[in-house]
Amino acid sequence: MSLQAGIPSGILDGDLLQCEDVHRVYPVKVSPLFRNLLEKPGDPIWRQVMPDVRELRDEGPLAMEDPLGEEARSPVPNLVHRYPDRVLWIVSHVCAVHCRFCTRKRRWTRPVALNEEMIQRALDYIARTPAVRDVLLSGGDPLMLSAAMVDDLCSRLRRISHVRILRVGTRVPFAAPERITDELVGVLRGHHPLFVNIHVNHPREITPEAREACARLADAGIPLGSQTVLLRDVNDDPSVLEELFVELLSLRVRPYYLLQMDLMKSTAHFRTGVSDGLRLLQRLRNRISGLALPQFVVDLPGGYGKVPLLPQAVEKIEAERIVFRNYEGRRCSYPLVEGEGPVLAKLLGKDG
């Protein structure tokens, strides 16, 4: 595939040659809808999907090819078992768009496509591991598979009695909403309880088409959540996140995770400090509906799992009381149960 095939002619001009180099390593892919949303270099959609020469310069000691240690935690290919009761199953190697900050971009040129043997091995693993209650279909993007394929995978998972819930992680409702057809929605609603968690990063992605796609899913009784990657110069701004989260809630999408960037090689120019995420949450907490506020999460390098972080609201712990600061900066104290001070101090990481 040539670079120009995927993007409007003339849009790259002078940078084309350098971008061809990036494209060879990390291929460019932009969905028709996102192509229409591109306005100018550096805009929030542009930065997410258009190549940047900095992708080839990120070779620092922090740059990893598999920052979440997923390969090491895959008992069978494409199935990541990191937590006791749930697995992440990479069922598709195709996405509607190639997000330049993707943690799994190593797979764009080395896809491990799912074949029948691998499907069977994953199903066998899940079937013989009764602790697994929750199967998260991921990718790539599972909703780039045909509706028949999604139906087949979900049906086979549903035959395993200890699998209670299914989850689908996808960017399709915003990046390629035309794929959320009545047929696909009919398939998904046939496998309840099934949750769809949607990747969305900026209010500009909330188009009329995406609104309709979310409405079709929600009307089918599918609980919708979102995950948003905190991206430098895309959405690291309180008013942008406020608009995004409040709008999502109005689409019946409950903001679930705000993710700190992983240490993926070639993505350093997107990374914000951990303090930025906390500062943004602090600005939004209590000012917007609690339902609209996601958890801020760092997915630890090496496969140690996700850790949620909260801005500290505890000022100090005294012998008989704990002193809080509310979102307006006002102090307020709350009485302690006798003797709990040291336990509380330890749980909150405070010396008292």
Ligand X SMILES: *Cc1c(COP(=O)(O)O)cnc(C)c1O
Binding site for [4Fe-4S] cluster: residue ranges?
A: 95, 99, 102
> Does 102 engage in binding with ligand SF4 (CB under 6 A)?
yes
83 is catalytic: yes
β-pairing verdict for 295-300 and 321-325: unpaired
> Does 125 engage in binding with ligand X (CB under 6 A)?
no
- Catalytic position from the list 29, 47, 100, 104: 104
> Does 216 engage in binding with ligand SF4 (CB under 6 A)?
no
Distance of closest approach, residue 257 Cβ to ligand X, in angstroms:
7
Contacts 24+ apart (CB under 8 A), 53-58: 53/15, 53/18, 53/19, 53/21, 53/22, 54/268, 54/269, 55/22, 55/25, 55/26, 55/100, 55/266, 55/267, 55/269, 56/21, 56/22, 56/25, 56/266, 58/265, 58/266, 58/267, 58/268, 58/269
- Euclidean distance between the first and final Cα of the chain, in Å? 61
Q: How many helices (H) and strands (E) does the chain have?
A: 12, 12
DSSP states of 198-234:
EE---GGG--HHHHHHHHHHHHTT--EEEEEE--TTT
95 is catalytic: yes
> Does 91 engage in binding with ligand X (CB under 6 A)?
no
Distance of closest approach, residue 139 Cβ to ligand X, in angstroms:
13
Q: Residues 44, 51, 140, 203: which binds ligand SF4 (CB under 6 A)?
A: 140
Q: Residues 23, 29, 47, 86: which binds ligand X (CB under 6 A)?
A: 86
Q: Which is nearer to ligand SF4, 104 or 191 (CB)?
A: 104
Q: Give the footprint of ligand SF4 on residues 174-203 (CB under 6 A).
A: 199
159 is catalytic: no
**CA–CA gap between residue 306 and residue 298 (Å, rounded):** 6
Q: Residues 158, 265, 283, 306: which binds ligand X (CB under 6 A)?
A: 306
Residues near ligand X (CB under 6 A): 80, 82-83, 86, 88, 136, 306
Residues near ligand SF4 (CB under 6 A): 95, 98-99, 102, 104, 139-141, 171, 199
User: Annotated catalytic sites, by residue?
Assistant: 82-83, 86, 95, 99, 102, 104, 262, 299, 306
